[in-house]
């Protein structure tokens, strides 16, 4: 599944307050997002003020409440703070420089994107002599195909919408599937 990351907010704390309104048109694109990831330099002396500024701008954009509620809060540069302990519930601690916490961040983003888009990850066993694999390539994002040559089947890992999966089950009722 393709995901587009757009960095739009980082400059806000450096922007004079009277110019923030001028950038509203650009920031309004955030309303079309599936997820907001707020990455903070947790070592910055004004990190709390910066967060408040970003949240204020986001709230003034009249974003859908689910978008604000599902926001991922990321504390970067935790490697520079001895014995770092998150001060906020659900904040993810990372060090982009050293790669610490990036796998957890990736998993959290994936989980929330799937939820926001109504998709799920499934592994489906398909008959290679039938139309299932072709159908999955057209209607879902095929991530992995593991061919079982002994029985002419394959285990296919896909990202699929709930509606497409419903159609698949109607078309191929005998298929086996599991959620990894």
Cβ neighbors of 61 (< 8 A, separation 6 or more) are 24, 27, 28, 30, 31
For domain 118-178, say whether CATH 3.30.70.240 is its number. Answer: yes
Fold of 12-116: Rossmann fold (3.40.50)
- Output the DSSP codes for 114-132: HHHHTEEEEEEEEETTSSH
- CA atoms 112, 115, 119, 125: torsion sign: positive
Q: CB–CB of 162/179 below 8 Å?
A: no
pLDDT in tens, the chain (180 residues): 777 777 765 655 566 667 666 666 667 778 888 999 999 999 999 999 888 888 888 888 888 899 999 999 999 999 999 988 888 888 999 999 999 999 999 999 999 999 999 999 999 999 999 999 999 999 999 999 999 999 999 999 999 999 999 999 999 998 888 777
Instruction: For the beta carbon of residue 139, count every other beta carbon within 10 angstroms.
Output: 17
- 60: which 2 tokens? 């003034």
Q: How far does Cα 150 stand from its chain's mean position?
A: 37
Sorted by where each begins, the domain ranges of the chain are 12-116, 118-178
One fold for 12-116 and 118-178: no
Q: Where are the beta strands (DSSP E) in the chain?
A: 37-41, 72-76, 92-93, 119-127, 141-148, 153-161, 176-178
């Amino acid at each position: 599944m393709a995901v587009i990351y757009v960095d739009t907010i980082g400059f806000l704390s450096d922007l004079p307050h009277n110019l923030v309104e001028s950038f509203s048109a650009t920031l309004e694109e955030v309303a079309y997002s599936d997820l907001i990831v707020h990455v903070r330099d947790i070592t910055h002396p004004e990190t709390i003020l910066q967060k408040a500024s970003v949240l204020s701008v986001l709230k003034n954009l009249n974003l859908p409440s689910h978008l604000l509620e599902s926001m991922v809060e990321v504390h970067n540069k935790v490697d520079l703070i001895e014995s770092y302990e998150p001060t906020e519930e659900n904040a993810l601690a990372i060090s982009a420089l050293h790669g610490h916490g990036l796998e957890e961040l990736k998993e959290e983003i994936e989980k929330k994107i799937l939820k926001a888009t109504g998709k799920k990850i499934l592994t489906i066993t398909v008959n290679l002599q039938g139309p299932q694999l072709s159908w999955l390539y057209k209607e879902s994002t095929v991530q992995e195909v593991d061919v079982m040559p002994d029985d002419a089947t394959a285990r296919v890992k896909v990202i699929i919408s709930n509606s497409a999966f419903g159609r698949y089950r109607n078309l191929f009722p005998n298929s086996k599937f599991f959620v990894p």
